[in-house]
Amino acid sequence: MQTLAEVFAKAKSENRAALIGYMPAGFPSKELSKRVIDAMVAGGVDIVEVGFPYSDPVMDGPIIQQAAEIALRNNTNAKDVLQVVSAVKVPALVMSYWNPIEKFGVENFARELSAVGGVGVITPDLTIEESADWISTTTDHNINRVYVVAPSTSDLRLKEVTKACSGFVYAASLMGVTGARNSVSSAAGELVSRIRKVTDLPVAVGLGVSNAEQAKHVASYADGVIVGSAFIKLVLESQSDEEALERVNTLAAELAAGVRRP
């Protein structure tokens, strides 16, 4: 399995951004979530974020919240998340609020994630001030730590947060919850420029990308383009499993073409 650094380096050598796709484990069912992720990868997704469903997803928009509710009704737990990660054919991270990780056990989670081939964890609500144990544990198990920064993050704070990151930096394109949008915030490009002044890590932009044109725009200044709600929306709207897989694969291929720079 490639490392995150190798994926970003390969994308750069091909004059494109890496395409990162998000899908919650256990949505729309435990087994189908694996097939949906396979369809995303077959379409051109380079890195997968496997969502850890949580009952209080305050940072997520209605589409991801709905997916999380479905996954929780399917009794999706930490073991199921790890099982999905183990089945992903490209580098996979877990995207999770801190509470489920803490409940499972920080040491247990890092150890078991590493054992199934997971390469990192994105923790949107974990502050660096509360990260001492997490930093130590993930370092011991060779797990990348990805923190989220936003346009409101000060320059001093950017330097502190990115110093604790490994793998890449997650740049939220705007303030607010997740969700596909008609346009990507103009603040994203400025944020990426500010991040590049304080770290050499790749920068991936998320929140709002839903089509190839938006992916192309973000790829012009970022190292990675993150897409989540757009994939989930297709699954929610599909009338059958096969339709969902086909539509997800098609969107992934369109986005993969979009992240290629002229």
Q: Which of the following is catalytic: 38, 49, 112, 223?
A: 49
Q: Nearest Cα to 36, choosing from 91, 93, 87, 112?
A: 87
User: Could you tell me the CA-to-CA distances from 38 to 4, 73, 142, 216 in Å, in that order?
Assistant: 18, 23, 25, 23
Residue 60 appears among annotated catalytic residues:
yes
C-alpha span between 90 and 256 (Å, rounded): 15
Tokens matching residue 252: 């992934």
**Long-range own/partner contacts, residues 155-158 (CB < 8 A, 24 or more apart):** 155/194, 155/197, 155/198, 158/194, 158/195, 158/198
Residue 49 appears among annotated catalytic residues:
yes
Q: Which residues pair with 48 in a beta bridge?
A: 21, 92
Tokens matching residue 44: 């051109």
| Alpha helices, DSSP H, located in 132-207 | 132-140, 155-164, 187-196
C-alpha span between 154 and 82 (Å, rounded): 35
Host H or E run for residue 103 = helix 98-104
Q: Which of the following is catalytic: 60, 80, 112, 223?
A: 60
**DSSP type of residue 194:** H
Q: Which residues pair with 21 in a beta bridge?
A: 48, 227
CA torsion sign for 51, 54, 59, 61 is positive
Active site residues: 49, 60
